[in-house]
């Protein structure tokens, strides 16, 4: 398990910080956030993979325009996320990470449920923009976990958090596809809203946060620029952007592509199964990679994850059967699954605790800009050039991302050292 053998003895603080103040309830908070994140992921993936099929149901008759309008709907949420994430991040540092996580969960519960009442494509776009403005659960969960977890456990904690996200993303499409094909595309939105509301109550009742007043914070206000340097910061934010841009580039077309290959009227079910097997593979990878990244370095894992995923993305363009797609999704999940926790752990271990909210707000904003532009550009490309070319572009972008990280992202003072053999006797996160 990625959570095993993690010792609680102190280590020299990164970036010259003062000794950590460790929350005695950090394990309970970690597991509560993990469960809330899992439920939110199940709910979100219950709906979003089938958004292009819902767009068609809203009266978009031209098949070539379905992918374009789907891209616009996805762009709306990504754009508002880009705008509001730095704001929410700063507010998290000032007023508390727990409060911001509740805002994201309850805000998402309301806005996603409202999407189920959409009667036109533009109503859906408006609700998507509102959802992006109020949510950002990924950044909120990362900030909450990074703020309470001892730094020497961050790799495993982020791996655990990412595993919950990926398991949710695996289970959601499988169930959501069946529900959508059986009861229509509106019911999944209401299920998603209910799950997000439950997640909000889990955070409310089962997490704790040790608030540190500004006058009690250390003087080492180490942010992204101090840790990575000006050029490294630009490369890091570009890597966040490109990674998200590439992954979402095929979002508006994937269920339509599956429908074209499978020749079935239950495209939502088949799409859900494909995404589920990829998610399960990613979850398995996270279990291993979270701990491995703590030992060999997060940057190395990131390079391998991005470069390796490119070699599974490009062959999607040449797939001729659903069986081939299943194999490619499993391979892609196994190699790409460790990228997310490694990236978040590298950031969390590099900057000062009092800048975590702003830091994750900035990096998530770069990622959300990719989430906004990826489906928009990919959707219009597919409508004009077909549904296979975007997979090739996706792979090329992932290779560029790997090169950026390998050549330019080198955090100073980051805990990127190999662990010694003493780590074999470490205490597990699940203990106590």
Per-residue pLDDT of the chain (432 residues; tens, 9 = 90+): 333 333 333 333 444 444 555 667 788 989 999 999 999 999 988 887 788 889 988 888 777 788 888 889 888 988 888 888 888 878 887 888 889 999 999 999 999 999 999 999 999 999 999 998 998 887 788 888 888 888 777 777 877 887 788 778 778 888 888 888 889 889 999 999 999 999 999 999 998 887 655 444 444 445 556 655 555 677 778 888 998 899 888 888 888 888 888 877 777 788 888 888 888 888 777 777 766 776 777 788 888 888 999 999 999 999 999 999 999 999 998 888 777 777 777 776 666 666 666 777 778 778 888 888 888 888 888 888 888 999 999 999 999 999 988 888 776 544 444 343 344 344 555 554
Query: What does the alpha-carbon distance between residue 200 and residue 101 come to, in Å, rounded to a whole number?
Result: 8
Terminal-residue alpha carbon distance, the chain: 16
Tell me which DSSP letter residue 25 carries: T
- Per CATH, the number for 24-210+223-415 is 1.20.1250.20
Query: What does the alpha-carbon distance between residue 288 and residue 112 come to, in Å, rounded to a whole number?
Result: 33
Residue 259's H or E segment, with its range, is: helix 254-262
**Cβ distance 25 to 432 under 8 Å?**
no
Q: What share of the chain is helix, strand, coil (3-state, %, to 5)?
A: 80, 0, 20
Query: What does the alpha-carbon distance between residue 304 and residue 240 come to, in Å, rounded to a whole number?
Result: 15
Query: What does the alpha-carbon distance between residue 301 and residue 127 come to, in Å, rounded to a whole number?
Result: 37
Please state, in angstroms and as integers, the Cα–Cα distance from residue 288 to each residue in 2, 16, 184, 236, following that order.
5, 30, 38, 24
Q: Where are the domains of the chain?
A: 24-210+223-415
Question: 0.75 exceeded by the pTM?
Answer: no
């Amino acid at each position: 398990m990625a959570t095993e053998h993690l010792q609680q003895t102190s280590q020299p603080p990164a970036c010259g910080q003062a000794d950590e103040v460790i929350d005695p309830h950090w394990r309970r908070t970690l597991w509560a956030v993990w469960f809330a994140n899992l439920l939110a992921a199940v709910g979100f993936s219950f709906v979003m993979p089938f958004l292009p099929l819902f767009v068609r149901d809203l009266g978009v008759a031209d098949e070539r325009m379905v992918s374009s309008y789907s891209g616009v709907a996805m762009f709306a949420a990504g754009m508002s996320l880009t705008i509001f994430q730095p704001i929410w991040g700063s507010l998290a540092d000032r007023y508390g990470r727990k409060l911001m996580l509740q805002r994201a969960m309850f805000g998402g519960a309301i806005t996603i449920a409202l999407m189920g009442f959409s009667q036109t494509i533009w109503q859906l776009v408006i609700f998507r923009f509102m959802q992006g403005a109020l949510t950002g659960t990924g950044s909120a969960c990362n900030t909450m976990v990074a703020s309470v977890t001892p730094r020497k456990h961050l790799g495993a904690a982020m791996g655990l958090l990412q595993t919950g996200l990926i398991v949710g993303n695996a289970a959601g499409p499988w169930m959501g596809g069946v529900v959508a094909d059986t009861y229509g595309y509106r019911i999944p939105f209401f299920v998603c809203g209910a799950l997000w509301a439950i997640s909000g109550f889990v955070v409310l009742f089962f997490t704790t946060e040790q608030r540190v007043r500004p006058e009690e914070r250390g003087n080492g206000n180490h942010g992204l620029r101090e840790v990575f340097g000006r050029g490294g910061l630009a490369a890091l934010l570009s890597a966040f952007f490109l990674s998200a841009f590439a992954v979402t580039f095929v979002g508006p077309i994937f269920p339509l592509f599956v429908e074209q290959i499978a020749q079935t009227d239950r495209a939502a079910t088949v799409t859900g199964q494909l995404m589920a097997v990829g998610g399960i593979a990613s979850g398995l990878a996270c279990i291993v990679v979270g701990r491995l990244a703590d030992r060999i370095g997060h940057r190395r894992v990131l390079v391998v994850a991005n470069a390796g995923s490119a070699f599974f993305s490009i062959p999607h363009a040449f797939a001729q059967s659903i069986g081939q797609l299943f194999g490619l999704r499993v391979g892609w999940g196994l190699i790409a699954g460790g990228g997310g926790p490694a990236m978040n752990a590298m950031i969390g271990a590099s900057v000062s605790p009092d800048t975590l909210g702003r830091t994750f707000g900035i990096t998530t904003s770069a990622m959300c800009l990719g989430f906004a532009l990826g489906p928009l550009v990919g959707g219009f490309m597919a409508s004009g050039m077909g549904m296979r070319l975007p997979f090739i572009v996706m792979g090329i972008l992932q290779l560029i991302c790997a090169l950026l990280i390998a050549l330019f992202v080198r955090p100073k003072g980051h805990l990127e050292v190999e662990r010694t053999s003493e780590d074999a006797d470490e205490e597990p996160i699940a203990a106590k």
